[in-house]
Amino acid sequence: MITRLKASYGSGIRPLTYAGQEYMGVDRSLVPEILQVLRNDEQFDYCVDLTAVHYPKRERPFDVIWVLYSFARNQRIRVTTEIMDGESLTSSVPIWPGTNWLEREVYDMFGIEFDGHPDLKRILLPEGWKGHPLRKDYGILQQDQEWVQINLGIESGQ
Amino acid sequence: MSESNSTVSHLDLETPEKPFLDANELVINMGPQHPATHGVLRVILRLDGEKVLGLECVIGYLHRGVEKIGEHRTYAMFNPYVDRMDYVAAVSNGLGYCETVEKLLGAEAPPRAQFVRVILTELNRIASHQLWLGTHALDIGAITPLFYTFRDREEILKIYEKYCGARLTTHAFRIGGLQYETYAGFEKDVRNFLAFFRPKIDEYEELLTTNRIWVERTRNVGVISGQDCIALGVTGPVLRASGVKWDLRKAQPYANYKMFDFEIPIGENGDTYDRYLVRMAEMRQSVRIIQQAVDALPEGPIMAKVPKVIKPPLGEVYHSIEAPKGELGYFIVSDGSTQPYRVRVRPPSFVNLQALDVMCRGQLVADVIAVIGTLDIVLGEVDR
């Protein structure tokens, strides 16, 4: 299937495999179309997970990963794309409503925005928190001291 | 806290500015400190009288940054942390994590370890379902099942305690197999438990299955279709109760589930009552699996040849298991060092909780409690 997609999209798709698991790297501009094709034509009707990885030294520092599953094929596939800091992606909520909270979590933890998301706001951290904790430049003991002081009335959360 | 009648602030019995019951829409807050939200879940309800028009979940009160911690611990050191996500099914969490790292390493646990893993994981499924049944019934108003299930769950926890010294956050498995050989009398204890537990499921069912109050409170409450479940990513017993016959133990077998004979119980209506029946049937199936596993338990080594310092090669892997609550997935990126570059946990409770809004629309406030219970969420896993 990946080879078939590769035939129609060319260099925009890079088939990858590791430990027997197939996944594909997709150019950011192709992502909305590929996800739509996977959902509608290839029967990947269940979006298992959506997450990101931060590589601060890379030119395009974020990997965003969709884990998809097809009940009809009993097959799992991952789609990954590389984006620049500050670049946004198209929301997949219209395709898989279940990605609503997953996109909010990626926004919360990495600061990646999704265009067209119905209600993009933080989910695990409180509104008004500064910083995105799963970025590599966010220290493990780092906190938004100001938020803690104002909202909890204590000097430090640690 | 109503929006539309907030203008009526003075008592004017003669000529009210507005009829008293004009409040069409009422916004009320439930939680985070609420006994029926199973932890610290906050739900903002939009109501028309008693009818729920919609709701919003506010989560994150228990966020501990498990994924961030994972990036700062070695592979072995992170293992106990995963127990603290879904703390009522700690063994399942450990199984998922260990198997994912084993996948990265290209290692596989030896057969005896696989069997012990299946026994402990299925015992954990029973324990998790027991806790769910007790608290869910309590929420709806039946107090007795709680005492029954906690009494019987104790027997499982005793086996854990004897095996690894811990009852809840067990840290039972290691990357590559098991650290401890089973104790003398382990098989006997497991067999005794199965013999003890089989009639107990009937006992639970006797209390509830035909109980009129229970049936009235659960039938046609929180209905969700199989299609909606798939669209929302809902998995586990909730998906199966909506008629989708899908269980990762069968669909993409992990550990050695291929070797066991068991069925996937499914429901028809996708309501709270069907989810109750599905989980009851799952406990029976777990008993079947454990019986087969303990009967066929082979001798042999319990640890695969994995290096003392775990350093998987560069790469990324997604692996998931059927936890008691649904698909529990781990996505681990290795940069070739001793610490994971990124650990992502795909928690079933988090994704399933999204369905709460859909399931509660048009229901009564009291049913929201029933639906939260039937989703079987654990906030430690939702918030991580």
Q: Worst-scoring range by mean pLDDT, A145-149, B75-79, B150-154?
A: A145-149
DSSP tag of B312: P
Per-residue pLDDT reduced to its tens digit, A72-115: 888 888 999 999 888 889 998 888 988 999 999 999 999 999 98
Q: Distance (Å) from the C-alpha of residue B123 to the closest C-alpha of chain A? A: 26
Pairing, β A46-54 against β A62-70: antiparallel
Q: Distance (Å) from the C-alpha of residue B313 to the closest C-alpha of chain A? A: 10
Of B23, B38, B24, whose CA–CA distance to B368 is shortest? B38
Residues of B in contact with A71 (CB under 8 A): 230, 244, 246
Triad A24, A26, A31: Cα angle to 5°: 120
Q: What's the mean pLDDT when you consider all of chain A?
A: 86
Please report the pLDDT score of residue B276 as a whole number. Answer: 92
For an interface test with B, which of A49, A110, A117, A140 has the most B Cβ atoms less than 10 Å from its Cβ?
A49
More confident residue, B223 or A3: B223
DSSP B215-268: HHHHTTSS---HHHHHHHT--THHHHHTT----HHHHS--TTGGGS-------S
Q: Worst-scoring range by mean pLDDT, A34-38, A57-61, A142-146, B33-37?
A: B33-37
Please report the pLDDT score of residue B21 as a whole number. Answer: 55
Closest residue on chain B to A110 (Cα): B68
Residue B2 has pLDDT above 60, yes or no: no
Per-residue pLDDT reduced to its tens digit, B217-246: 898 888 898 888 998 999 999 999 998 999
Q: Worst-scoring range by mean pLDDT, A129-138, A147-156, B142-151, B180-189?
A: A147-156
Phi, psi of A133 (to 5 degrees): -60, -25
Percent of chain B with pLDDT over 90: 39
Of B317, B340, B341, B170, whose CA–CA distance to B254 is shortest? B317
Please give the average per-residue pLDDT across B181-205, as a whole number. 90
Q: Distance (Å) from the C-alpha of residue A27 to the closest C-alpha of chain B? A: 19
Residues of B in contact with A49 (CB under 8 A): 318, 329, 331, 344, 346
Please give the average per-residue pLDDT across B167-176, as a whole number. 88
**Residue ranges with strand state E in B75-137:** none
What are B's interface residues with A at a Cβ cutoff of 8 A? 59-60, 63, 65, 67-69, 71-72, 103-104, 106, 230-234, 244, 246, 251-252, 315-318, 320, 327, 329, 331, 333, 341-342, 344, 346, 350-351, 353-354, 383-384
Please report the pLDDT score of residue A130 as a whole number. Answer: 86
Please report the pLDDT score of residue B26 as a whole number. Answer: 82
Flag if A123 and B233 touch (Cβ within 8 Å): no
Flag if A21 and B317 touch (Cβ within 8 Å): yes
Residue B294 has pLDDT above 80, yes or no: yes
Q: What's the mean pLDDT when you consider all of chain B?
A: 87
Please report the pLDDT score of residue B8 as a whole number. Answer: 46
Query: Among B341, B354, B384, whose Cβ lies nearest the Cβ of A101?
Result: B354
Confidence of residue B14 (pLDDT cuts 50, 70, 90): low
Flag if B231 and A97 touch (Cβ within 8 Å): yes
Whole-number Å distance between alpha carbons of B281 and B268: 14
Whole-number Å distance between alpha carbons of B275 and B64: 30
Token couple for B381: 């896993």
β-bridge partners, A15 = A24
Residue B296 has pLDDT above 50, yes or no: yes
Q: Distance (Å) from the C-alpha of residue B69 to the closest C-alpha of chain A? A: 7
Please report the pLDDT score of residue B19 as a whole number. Answer: 52
Contact (Cβ atoms closer than 8 angstroms) between residue A59 and residue A69: no
Per-residue pLDDT reduced to its tens digit, B25-59: 888 888 787 777 677 888 888 888 888 888 888 99
Flag if B246 and A71 touch (Cβ within 8 Å): yes
Residues of B in contact with A140 (CB under 8 A): 65, 68-69, 71-72
Confidence of residue B194 (pLDDT cuts 50, 70, 90): very high
For an interface test with B, which of A50, A53, A63, A124 has the most B Cβ atoms less than 10 Å from its Cβ?
A124
Query: Among B67, B252, B331, whose Cβ lies nearest the Cβ of A65?
Result: B331
Q: CATH classification of B66-383, choosing from 3.40.190.10, 1.10.150.120, 1.10.645.10, 1.10.1740.10? A: 1.10.645.10
Confidence of residue A11 (pLDDT cuts 50, 70, 90): confident
Residues of A in contact with B318 (CB under 8 A): 21, 48-49, 67, 76, 78
Please report the pLDDT score of residue B1 as a whole number. Answer: 43
For residue B290, give Cα distances in angstroms to A5, B57, B109, B117, B148. Answer: 44, 37, 18, 10, 21
Residue B3 has pLDDT above 70, yes or no: no
Please report the pLDDT score of residue A58 as a whole number. Answer: 87
Query: Among A65, A123, A134, whose Cβ lies nearest the Cβ of B59?
Result: A123
Please give the average per-residue pLDDT across B357-372, as a whole number. 88
Closest residue on chain A to B252 (Cα): A74
The yes/no answer to whether this complex scores an ipTM above 0.90 is no
More confident residue, A128 or B2: A128
Flag if B327 and A48 touch (Cβ within 8 Å): yes
Residues of A in contact with B224 (CB under 8 A): none
Contact (Cβ atoms closer than 8 angstroms) between residue B332 and residue B316: yes
Of B130, B351, B124, whose CA–CA distance to B236 is shortest? B351
For an interface test with A, which of B71, B249, B342 has the most A Cβ atoms less than 10 Å from its Cβ?
B342
Please give the average per-residue pLDDT across B363-368, as a whole number. 88
Contact (Cβ atoms closer than 8 angstroms) between residue B57 and residue B351: no
DSSP B137-155: HHHHT--HHHHHHHHHHHH
pTM of the predicted model as reported, rounded to 2 decimal places? 0.85
User: In a 3-state reduction of DSSP, which class is residue B176?
Assistant: coil
Query: Among A49, A109, A122, whose Cβ lies nearest the Cβ of B331?
Result: A49
Per-residue pLDDT reduced to its tens digit, B84-116: 888 888 999 999 999 999 988 888 889 999 999
DSSP A50-99: EEEEE-TTSSS-EEEEEEEEETTTTEEEEEEEEE-TT--EE--TTT-TTH
Whole-number Å distance between alpha carbons of B365 and B359: 12
Please report the pLDDT score of residue A21 as a whole number. Answer: 83
Closest residue on chain A to B246 (Cα): A71
Confidence of residue A65 (pLDDT cuts 50, 70, 90): very high
Q: Distance (Å) from the C-alpha of residue B120 to the closest C-alpha of chain A? A: 26
Query: Among B65, B317, B342, whose Cβ lies nearest the Cβ of A133?
Result: B65
Closest residue on chain A to B100 (Cα): A19
Flag if B72 and A76 touch (Cβ within 8 Å): no
Please report the pLDDT score of residue B191 as a whole number. Answer: 92
Flag if B231 and A98 touch (Cβ within 8 Å): yes
Please give the average per-residue pLDDT across B277-281, as a whole number. 92
Flag if A124 and B68 touch (Cβ within 8 Å): no
